[in-house]
Structure 1
Amino acid sequence: MRQVNKVTNLSIPKKTREINVFVLLTIVLAIALILTYVVPAGEYQRTEIDGRSVVVPNTYKHVESASLNLMDFASSFHKGMVEAADIIFFVLIIGGSFGIIVSTGAIEAFILSASRKLGNKEKWLIPFMMLFFAIGGSLIGMAEETLVYIPILISLALSLGFDVITGTAIVLVGASIGFTTAVMNPFTVGVAQGIAKLPMFSGIGFRIVLFIIMYIVGAWFVYRYAAKVKADPSKGFFGDGKYTKIDKTKTDIPFTGRHKAVLICFLLNFVIIAFGVIKYGWFMTEISGMFIILSIIVGFIGRIHPNTFVENFMSGSAGVISGALIIGVAKAVVVILTDGRIIDTILYSAASVLDSVPAYLSAVGIYIFQAIINFIVPSGSGQAALTMPIIAPLADLVGVTRQTAVLAFSIQDGIGNIILPTSGYFMAGLALAGIPWTRWVKWILPLIAMQYGIGLIAVIVAHLIGYGPF
């Protein structure tokens, strides 16, 4: 099956050949079950501090083994879904709200309007459009939704004397910058902070600074390459010629006052959420409520019929159902480790290793661990659900703030989105552009190295300043 985008009328591959995340997580779940027969059972004492459960150091002790069976394995899927229900519905509501916004055509109209205006202003095309996709990735986790704009940006890039890689990078690298910094991304930082019991979207100032740095480096890298291609086309990649210079008849969609009103409400919603989080300590329930209010207001502005409103909301939720279910399956792994009484043994072993090194190296260790997990579980929300129940208490034990641990997770998740072959939407983007993965890797590797370096420095600095609140 193939999906045809209603804006560009271009045929888009619905799926690329990839490793299914659910299969990987089921394998991990089976390994966790086997470990309950191999790893000694043990427990830490825990105490409550400001509403969160905290491991008490030096209280680990061996307890009676609780090896699980096949029924425990099968039941863990349901248990995981139930225990992660608050996060799953949070994701579904926000996905539904985004479906309403998309249905108004405001985002498409804005991008196409910007494309027309920047069609002969090459100096502004790359930084401006990358900034838009970066903001989208950082605020609402735009990922798969960005793919339909790759053909438009490729055609624009070709019109300005650039190449296919330039047009693709504007979209993929831009969105990745947003995921890496995740200023207010509800699907990554939002989920991770919820599990770690941190105030929702706390630590935003540090992430804004990181966003600016990552954006400058990313835009500079893409623009520098594009300039080289324009000066010497032999250095570029032009694929098989299926994309040509932009045809403005395909992008002649007006950016109306109604579209502007929708986007203003969308941005205002984030301002109100930020205020509510900082002033009143809003969490998932209140933030979900704000997105419901936003959806209703946007529905009125867009003059969407109630029946159509519901259909668009459900369509938006359906778009994130895979990620929501991944959260539940990832939580099932934690259920097995917890019911098998080995999760604290894993914590104890990891803490014993990290206790022998300086605390800032413990933060680096968490950073490296997330990089490894990111390859196995490229889904940001799924990775948060899998790792945060272990990493958050581990951070407490080794003297690293939970906020720093969440930062390490979000950085690794974002960077992996534009290089790992296990990232489904990334590989779909390359397939859409006709760029071989090996060709892309050869081009982007220097930027990836810079981003990993910046991320490493950010994690170390976060540890040194006690990035918190805890």
Structure 2
Amino acid sequence: MNLEQSNKGVSKKKFSEGFKVPHTLVIISAIILLVAVATYIVPGGAYEKIVNADGKTLVVDGSFKYVASKPQGVFDVLQAPIQGIIGGAEIIAFLFIVGGAFNIITKTKAIDFGIVRIVNVFRGKEILIIPIIFFMFSLGGGIFGMSEESIPFIAMMVPLTLVLGYDSIVAVAITYLACNIGFTAAMLNPFNVGIAQSIAEIPMYSGIEYRTIVWLVSTIIAVAFVMIYASKIKKNQKLSPVYESDQKKRQSLSNFESEDDNFLLSHKIILFLIAACMGIIIWGVLAKGFWIPQIAAVFLATGFLAGIVGKLSPDEMADAFILGAKDMMGAAIMLGFARGIVILAENASIIDTILFNLSQILGSIPGILAAYLMLPIQMFINFFISSGSGQAALTMPILAPLGDLIGISRQLTVLIFQFGDGFSNAMFPTSGILIACLGIAGIPYTKWFKWILPLQGILFVLGIVFITIAKVIGWN
């Protein structure tokens, strides 16, 4: 190595050592500023919207018109996070309730003993836990649109994955990411497939055979990605992006081996209560239409009952609840700031303008190329509108008839919508559920983004492959 090469190596090392990835809140704030600048550049526009017999708000295709621009100034930018927190109040309240209730359960030590039992059952074959849990959550996402429901499971999976020798990222991957994969590549999900197909005026849940193949292949590829990563961390935990923070969590975990002999009846009852809680939540979502308030209520009752069975005093339960809720503060603030991005774009009336111009571009491109381009366009829209049902109501009335004109079947248009709406929710900071899950697991967004980016690339290519196959076989 000559002197010049040596100097280049030293300077490169100094640069990498000196560079520090910004805090998640800094990144979100920077995006808020960029959107604010865009409101001065992108003109305002609006589609005419109607409410159909089912109460769904739909966009009238061909009704777009430019409206007076509403640039967002400094005072608007400063108000956006506050409005975001108000708009995200339901999820934020959910975080506080779940965090507090789970901390009461944690204080009883019942989960520690439950982990001991699981570790003993899978000793020597710990890797099998990953596909088993991943497929369960992915199936929940694919059948009944499980997404927000994954949040309470994060707190339970983090200590389990740490004890098994993995990291907190694996905990989020086998719960939230699994739900995201299932939700996106769904065969029956009412929140994306059901609504999108009804708006596109094709039979509800038609094309289920091809969608089932899409779900199965997507889940297998995603779980393989997680298992490869988990195996690497199992061999060397220092390779984990969250190694330092996980070490602190490991120190706070009990000595599981020594506590195995102290497994009391109260601990068994509490574990039964947790299982019953999850069963009630799943039943409630499927049969009774449970949403965030109802799920939080069930979890709060479980925490309260666990505290009583665990013989915690009222003061101990109160202290534990406050401490658990306090741990959710960072996630709540980032969630509010992330929603501020969308609020600025909505207040400036630029989202419909962006959608209109993107649809004009699509209309000028023929056949399969337009189908390919639909995917990144839908992902771009998903950055601002992470709600699957809301996004379907906005884009499907425009993209479905547009697809007819350029030779893309409505069935394929719905599938493209699924891919664009879903996979990127596991990457974009505007996804409130992602920010909530990372907050509970204690994972900085920037480290998660770096980890998930290769998988997002794989899923994007996979989406293109499925779109191509569907186009070639004339799927409709």
Give TM class, smaller chain. Answer: 0.5 to 0.7
Distance 1:229 1:91 in 2: 29
1:249 to 1:390, Cα distance in 2 relative to 1, 3 A: closer
1:350 to 1:308, Cα distance in 2 relative to 1, 3 A: farther
Distance 2:191 2:95 in 1: 12
Distance 1:429 1:256 in 2: 39
Deviation of 1:17 after TM superposition, in Å, equals 6.0
Q: Deviations over 1:118-175 (max 9, x none)?
A: 44xx2x3210366458868975335577555565333xxxxxxxxxxxx45xx64464
Q: Which amino acid is the alignment partner of residue 44 of structure 2?
A: A
1:197 to 1:303, Cα distance in 2 relative to 1, 3 A: farther
Q: Which amino acid is the alignment partner of residue 346 of structure 1?
A: I
1:115 to 1:287, Cα distance in 2 relative to 1, 3 A: closer
In structure 2, stretches of 5+ residues that fail to align are 1-18, 139-146, 197-204, 248-253, 401-409, 430-437
Distance 1:229 1:67 in 2: 48
1:266 to 1:460, Cα distance in 2 relative to 1, 3 A: farther
1:343 aligns with 2:351: yes
**Residue pair 1:136, 1:175 contacting (<8 A) in 2 also:** no
Choose 388-397 or 336-345, whichever is displaced more: 388-397
SS in 2 for 1:251: helix
Distance 1:196 1:335 in 2: 26
Distance 2:232 2:340 in 1: 49
Distance 2:181 2:313 in 1: 30
Q: Over the residues paired in the alignment, what is the CA RMSD in angstroms?
A: 5.3
**Residue pair 1:334, 1:389 contacting (<8 A) in 2 also:** no
Deviation of 1:402 after TM superposition, in Å, equals 8.5
SS in 2 for 1:182: helix
1:364 aligns with 2:361: no
SS in 2 for 1:65: coil
1:341 to 1:151, Cα distance in 2 relative to 1, 3 A: closer
SS in 2 for 1:66: coil
Tell me which residue corresponds to 2:23.
20
**Residue pair 1:131, 1:174 contacting (<8 A) in 2 also:** no
Choose 336-345 or 141-150, whichever is displaced more: 141-150
**Residue pair 1:180, 1:413 contacting (<8 A) in 2 also:** no
1:288 to 1:253, Cα distance in 2 relative to 1, 3 A: same
In structure 1, stretches of 5+ residues that fail to align are 1-15, 155-166, 231-235, 374-381, 418-422, 432-436
Tell me which residue corresponds to 2:8.
none
TM-score normalised by the chain length of structure 2: 0.63
**Residue pair 1:97, 1:294 contacting (<8 A) in 2 also:** yes
Tell me which residue corresponds to 1:128.
129
1:180 aligns with 2:180: no
Q: Which amino acid is the alignment partner of residue 30 of structure 1?
A: L
Q: What are the within-5 Å matches in structure 2 for residues 132-281 of structure 1?
A: 140-141=150-151, 142-143=153-154, 148=159, 152-154=163-165, 167-168=166-167, 172-173=169-170, 175-182=172-179, 237=236, 251-254=257-260, 255-281=263-289
Q: How many residue pairs are counted as aligned between the two chains? A: 392
**Residue pair 1:180, 1:415 contacting (<8 A) in 2 also:** no
More helix by share: 2
Tell me which residue corresponds to 2:308.
300
SS in 2 for 1:47: strand
Q: What are the within-5 Å matches in structure 2 for residues 433-452 of structure 1?
A: none
**Residue pair 2:195, 2:392 contacting (<8 A) in 1 also:** no
- Larger CA Rg, structure 1 vs 2: 2
Deviation of 1:43 after TM superposition, in Å, equals 1.2
1:55 to 1:136, Cα distance in 2 relative to 1, 3 A: closer
Distance 1:267 1:184 in 2: 24
**Residue pair 2:46, 2:65 contacting (<8 A) in 1 also:** yes
SS in 2 for 1:57: coil
Q: What are the within-5 Å matches in structure 2 for residues 400-411 of structure 1?
A: 408-411=420-423
**Residue pair 2:97, 2:325 contacting (<8 A) in 1 also:** yes
Tell me which residue corresponds to 1:30.
33
1:89 aligns with 2:82: no
TM-score normalised by the chain length of structure 1: 0.63
Choose 317-326 or 28-37, whichever is displaced more: 317-326
1:76 to 1:98, Cα distance in 2 relative to 1, 3 A: same
